[in-house]
């Protein structure tokens, strides 16, 4: 098997935004460059959101200014609204990832918007990215469950994906923000989204809060998804989702996929090395299995 599965590294953004450690700009830049050396080609390097709401990302503009740029690398900036999109454009982001939300309760706390209002905001902001010739993707957060409202209607998720497609978004990610998805749900939701938004690439974003993230990655790949978000060391979480722990660990995903014969383009040894370096910078152990157990053979 030589099928390619691309990894979008989210450690420098989703990983760091909820960690207790206070990293300097220089440490964030070094983290990004270490990930580059491990073969990462697409990476969330920061976000342009309210510094009061997410203070760990307040220095994203300076991080974007200092990081190395390469023709084979895409530095992704996350945004929630017009101000964020304009700041991402000013920072010369290679790609903008816009956040939609599938749950009312989470949406009001995270963005102060309903699901449909986030789609309206995307439709309003998309021309800015298109005019700047910056690729635009979208992630639908809490696509598998809302921490405040419980189960999320798959019809809402599919409708948001369809609206993103109409706004000219090339790629839509489904986010299990609080780690409640099951492999069977993953299969069903991606199949429904594909029916409603057949012209976008699909991406999966799983948190390992309840230990099912790797199983959900498997289910997504089996459902035909070949773009997976992951975070070095398994760090991360959402400030607006109670008890939402880290993302699925990049090195764990790479190990599983490559043992099955998939190509990820990631140097597993260097990724494990980066996860161990990250422990020294953060001042605590990371959650990934490979950082603890090492690779095999």
Tens-level pLDDT at each residue, the chain (297 residues): 569 999 999 999 999 998 999 999 999 999 999 999 999 999 999 999 999 999 999 999 999 999 999 888 999 999 999 999 999 999 999 999 999 999 999 999 889 999 999 999 999 999 999 999 999 999 999 999 999 999 999 999 999 999 999 999 999 999 999 999 999 999 999 999 999 999 999 999 999 999 999 999 999 999 999 999 999 999 998 877 777 788 999 999 999 999 999 999 999 999 999 999 999 999 999 999 999 999 988
Annotated catalytic residue: which of 92, 125, 232, 238?
A: 238
Whole-number Å distance between alpha carbons of 92 and 97: 13
Does residue 66 sit within a domain? Answer: yes
pLDDT of residue 111: 92
Does residue 247 sit within a domain? Answer: yes
Q: Print the domain residue range for 184.
A: 6-289
pLDDT of residue 71: 81
pLDDT of residue 290: 97
Does residue 204 sit within a domain? Answer: yes
DSSP code per residue over 21-63: ----HHHHHHHHHHHHHTT--EEEEEEES-TTT-GGGTTHHHH
Question: Does the reported pTM lie above 0.85?
Answer: yes
Does residue 81 sit within a domain? Answer: yes
Does residue 296 sit within a domain? Answer: no
pLDDT of residue 1: 52
Does residue 1 sit within a domain? Answer: no
Domain count along the chain: 1
- 125 assigned to active site: no
Whole-number Å distance between alpha carbons of 123 and 214: 33
Whole-number Å distance between alpha carbons of 195 and 12: 33
Q: What's the CATH number where 56 sits? A: 3.20.20.70
Q: What is the CA radius of gyration of the chain?
A: 17
Does residue 180 sit within a domain? Answer: yes
Helix (H) or strand (E) holding 126: helix 115-131
Angle of CA points 97, 229, 259, to nearest 5°: 155
Does residue 24 sit within a domain? Answer: yes
In order of 11, 35, 59, 257, the CA distances from 292 in angstroms are 18, 19, 31, 18
Q: Supply 277's token pair.
A: 């370096």
């Amino acid at each position: 098997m030589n099928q390619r599965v691309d990894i979008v590294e989210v450690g420098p953004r989703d990983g760091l935004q909820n960690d207790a450690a206070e990293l300097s700009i220089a440490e964030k830049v070094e983290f990004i460059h270490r990930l580059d050396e491990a073969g990462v080609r697409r990476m969330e390097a920061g976000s342009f959101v309210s510094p009061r709401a997410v203070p760990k990302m307040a220095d994203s503009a300076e991080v974007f200014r200092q990081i190395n740029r390469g023709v084979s690398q895409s530095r992704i900036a996350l945004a929630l609204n017009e101000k964020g999109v304009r700041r991402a454009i000013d920072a010369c982001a290679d790609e903008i990832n816009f956040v939609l939300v599938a749950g009312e309760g989470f949406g009001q706390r995270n963005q102060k918007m309903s699901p449909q209002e986030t789609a309206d905001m995307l439709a309003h902001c998309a021309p800015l990215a298109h005019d700047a010739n910056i690729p635009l993707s979208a992630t639908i957060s809490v696509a598998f469950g809302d921490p405040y409202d419980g189960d999320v209607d798959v019809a809402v998720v599919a409708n948001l994906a369809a609206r993103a497609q109409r706004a000219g978004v090339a790629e839509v990610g489904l986010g299990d923000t609080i780690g409640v998805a099951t492999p069977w749900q993953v299969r069903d939701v991606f199949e429904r989204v594909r029916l409603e938004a057949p012209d976008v690439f699909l991406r999966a974003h799983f948190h390992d809060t309840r230990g099912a993230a790797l199983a959900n990655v498997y289910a997504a790949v089996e459902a035909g998804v070949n773009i997976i978000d992951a975070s070095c060391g398994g760090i991360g979480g959402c400030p607006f989702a109670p008890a939402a722990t880290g993302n699925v660990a990049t090195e764990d995903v790479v190990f599983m996929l490559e043992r099955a014969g998939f190509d990820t383009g990631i140097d597993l040894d260097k990724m494990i090395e980066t996860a161990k370096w990250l422990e020294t910078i953060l001042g605590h152990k990371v959650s990934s299995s490979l950082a603890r157990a090492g690779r095999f053979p």
